[in-house]
Structure 1
Amino acid sequence: MTPHPQNQSCPQGQSYPQRQSYPQRDVFLVTNSVNELGGVTSWSHQMARLFTGRGHRVHVIGITTPVVAQELGDLPYPTTTLYDGQPPRPGRARDASMREQAARLTALFRSARPGGVVIVAQVWAMEWVGLADTTGLTVIGMSHEAFETCRKSSRFRRVLRHYRDVDRMLALTREDADLWIGRGLNNASFMPNPLPFMPEVPSPRTEKAVVSVGRLSDEKGVDMLLDAWAEVTTRHPDWTLRIYGSGEDEEILRKQCTALGLDDSVAWMGRTDDVPGALRAGSVFVQSSRGEGFPLVLLEAMATAVPCAAFDCAPGVREIIRDGEDGLLATPGNTGELARKLNLLMADKQLRDRMGETARANIQRYTTDEIVRRWEELFAFLDR
């Protein structure tokens, strides 16, 4: 790993060298699992495809095999999973197995051409990468969640420990990067997620439907969304809340829905493989999460020209939504305020149309070309 600068403007992502073209590199993307369900997996394969499309040689590496896996189809790059299942429990067997698997990583890394890069998307995976020989490679560690969310979890101390000496530690926003720097990670910078898609045909915003997309879990706050909807639906009995997703809280959420008398105005849509279609069929998008990183579904909704109402639960949310311009933000956990924001959008078609079209224009700052360019500029800077 190369030394990182301590006091330069580059860690804030504003002064990397401008180049017309960049060398093709070997890029290793290391995550907890190659094919588990979740946003980090989606991000890793999106970036792998983007890097491959730019001529880089990509290898996606996972530590474990998930209990519930997603089908990835044919991939234009190789993947490797270190464990057929889970690693041993902590102890001597675990330590021995980690050294053995780290040796496999070392063998893979040694195949890299000069200028190779290892991007570790989750800090747990860094425990294996840290045991491998990364001599001659640039190592970048990432946190795909807000600083405050991480601070409340066991991952916080791991980030401070395992990312302290990498060439660059990347958060999702400038605000989060500054917070990590305040905790002593002077190598911290930020890199937003790229826009997953830019649909040619936006939503016409004609259906009286509010859309929610996300896992039915405590973090996503669907229970709070139902409480907010109970206030909204009395004013708009002809509107429907469509909830897309599945998860461990589905049964209790359905019971809450019934207890609130919302069964006639809430549609449980289940998981969908057609997020663009789900968003296009709505006129408003709502996100009620207790915590987020840099939520892709907000990017997707705005790209589809659907105005969003969301809890301002993380820097990534207020980085994406410009409150009052292309969407509306509510105080985290304040269901009454979220209900009022939804009511504003549902009651005023001109407001919906104006914010939806503005959102579609503003969100292009996260296009894939722009984000890949920023990655390649970072690679070039860290070569110096």
Structure 2
Amino acid sequence: MTAARDLFLVANSTDELGGVTAWTHQMARLFTGAGHRVHVVGVHESELKMAVPQAPGYAVTSLYERHPATARPLRGARRFSLPARRAERRRVAAKKRARATLESVLAPAPPGSVVVVTQVWPMEWLREIDTSHLTVVGMSHESFAYSRASHRYHWIKRHYPHVDRWLVLTQEDADVWAAEGLNNVDFMPNALAHLPDVPSPRTEKVVCSIGRLADQKGVDMLLDTWAKVAPFRADWQLHVYGAGADEPQLRRHCRELGLDGSVRWRGRTDDVPGALAASSVFVQSSRGEGFPLALMEAMAGAVPCAAFDCAPGVREIVRDGEDGLLAPVGDVDALADRLLRLTGNPRLRDAMGERARVNVQRFSEERVLELWEDLFALLER
């Protein structure tokens, strides 16, 4: 029997459409079920929302009603701009209120409580309050390479050496961060959220993509890939599930490629298992990933995957040539080849799909929860 703890999961948002939000509520549910007292905290409420539990069984708090304003130094002509000075005063006042809210949540927590900062950005607020009585675990849900190419790399190097443990998603990335001087680094995989009772029959001539319609997910490259596949698979369709700011441009790109007859824009879905059950192949065209939940869910449904090998987490999940097919990141010709192989060979689809369903269960919720409990016990020593 594990010891009950106060656990706080602090994320960018508690309701934003995306994998980290889904992971946050999944882990909150698992920790609550294991007897821990859980509080989910988000920096802000989101405009593009995902379905979250109405009565989750744990506390949920947002520090802001909407995305907070970004700090803009009062330099040059801005020093003399009355609107700019007023906006800065409003931003500072709002951040002071947000900081007070976060402090009211964390200050009463007993010693031994654990704060898991699930993304890099919320650490900005956490660093401004007293957490000396708490164990602080920092996390990133993206690969080292994706962080390295962004401003988050310098933020991590500056702020994360102080946390009790810095978690990434794979041993491969943990080794790279250790070489960068972060000696508190460890890794923790995401957990498989759902294993359908009945796998996909793989009878529909549908290739499925699930993800936000944003640059990171590479749907533009997926359309370029499908333009190479569609002429050889006239009886197949590509179903794109997701929503996001890039949708108008992507639809326009689809029309320009002449793909409107074979691409279906399905919008966001709260029934991922249903979408996968109606598909025979899953495709992931991301420029960068962490440990993608949608990829694991597809494999759990026995839907074989073709994906860009864009992160250690992807090749940790997919065993290339055994339970899925990987292509070099950004190589649309190679991804098209993988899709042509899977769509053109029912025996290959079935064999890889069935192996995928078995292999992905090594990331079961029970196993990952055990890893978290081991980590909590280690940090308590």
User: Could you state the TM-score of these two structures normalised by the residue count of structure 2?
Assistant: 0.91
Q: Could you list the per-position Cα deviations for residues 279-308 of structure 1 after superposition, in whole angstroms to 9, with x for gaps in the alignment?
A: 011111011111111111000000000000
Match of 1:137 in 2: 134
2:38 alignment partner AA: V
Query: Of the candidates 350, 353, 369, which is equivalent to residue 350 of structure 2?
Result: 353
Match of 2:267 in 1: 270
Contact 1:99 1:131 in 2 (8 A): no
Match of 1:36 in 2: 16
1:35 and 1:202 map into 2 onto residues whose CA distance is 29
Match of 1:119 in 2: 116
State the 1:192 CA deviation: 0.8
User: Could you state the TM-score of these two structures normalised by the residue count of structure 1?
Assistant: 0.90
Q: Could you list the per-position Cα deviations for residues 89-144 of structure 1 after superposition, in whole angstroms to 9, with x for gaps in the alignment?
A: 43674566545543443332232234211000111111111222222321100011
**Partner of 2:44: helix, strand, or coil?**
coil
State the 1:83 CA deviation: 2.3
- Larger RCO: Structure 1 or Structure 2 (Cα < 8 Å, ≥ 6 residues apart)? 1
1:212 alignment partner AA: S
Deviates more, 1:138-147 or 1:27-36: 27-36
1:212 and 1:89 map into 2 onto residues whose CA distance is 33
1:78 alignment partner AA: A
Deviates more, 1:218-227 or 1:136-145: 218-227
Match of 1:253 in 2: 250
Alignment pair present for 1:333 and 2:330: yes
Q: Where does 1:304-343 land on structure 2 (aligned, <5 Å)?
A: 304-343=301-340
Q: Where does 1:55-134 land on structure 2 (aligned, <5 Å)?
A: 55-72=35-52, 73-87=54-68, 89-90=70-71, 93=89, 94=91, 98=95, 101-134=98-131
Match of 1:10 in 2: none
1:88 and 1:246 map into 2 onto residues whose CA distance is 24
State the 1:172 CA deviation: 0.9
2:107 and 2:254 map into 1 onto residues whose CA distance is 55
State the 1:337 CA deviation: 0.8
2:64 and 2:242 map into 1 onto residues whose CA distance is 29
1:291 and 1:116 map into 2 onto residues whose CA distance is 33
1:126 alignment partner AA: M
Number of residue pairs matched by the alignment: 364
1:230 and 1:30 map into 2 onto residues whose CA distance is 41
Query: Of the candidates 293, 297, 304, which is equivalent to residue 300 of structure 1?
Result: 297
Give identity over the alignment, percent. 58
Deviates more, 1:104-113 or 1:161-170: 104-113
Match of 2:79 in 1: none
Contact 1:123 1:162 in 2 (8 A): no
2:186 alignment partner AA: S
Q: Could you list the per-position Cα deviations for residues 316-348 of structure 1 after superposition, in whole angstroms to 9, with x for gaps in the alignment?
A: 111110000100000111111111111111111
1:311 alignment partner AA: F
Deviates more, 1:348-357 or 1:212-221: 212-221
Q: Could you list the per-position Cα deviations for residues 220-264 of structure 1 after superposition, in whole angstroms to 9, with x for gaps in the alignment?
A: 111211222122122221111111112222222222222222222
Deviates more, 1:91-100 or 1:275-284: 91-100
Structure 1 residues 255 and 107, CA, compared in 2 at 3 Å: closer, same or farther? Answer: closer
2:169 and 2:11 map into 1 onto residues whose CA distance is 16
Query: Of the candidates 156, 173, 187, which is equivalent to residue 176 of structure 1?
Result: 173
Structure 1 residues 78 and 348, CA, compared in 2 at 3 Å: closer, same or farther? Answer: same
State the 1:71 CA deviation: 4.6
Match of 1:215 in 2: 212
Contact 2:51 2:270 in 1 (8 A): no
1:65 and 1:77 map into 2 onto residues whose CA distance is 17
2:323 and 2:146 map into 1 onto residues whose CA distance is 25
Contact 1:240 1:267 in 2 (8 A): yes
Q: Where does 1:152-171 land on structure 2 (aligned, <5 Å)?
A: 152-171=149-168
2:62 alignment partner AA: T
1:25 and 1:357 map into 2 onto residues whose CA distance is 39
**Partner of 2:250: helix, strand, or coil?**
helix
State the 1:193 CA deviation: 0.8
Question: Aligned-pair RMSD on alpha carbons?
Answer: 1.7
Contact 2:211 2:242 in 1 (8 A): yes
Structure 1 residues 125 and 279, CA, compared in 2 at 3 Å: closer, same or farther? Answer: same
2:246 and 2:99 map into 1 onto residues whose CA distance is 37
Contact 1:294 1:317 in 2 (8 A): yes
State the 1:88 CA deviation: 5.1
Contact 1:172 1:316 in 2 (8 A): yes
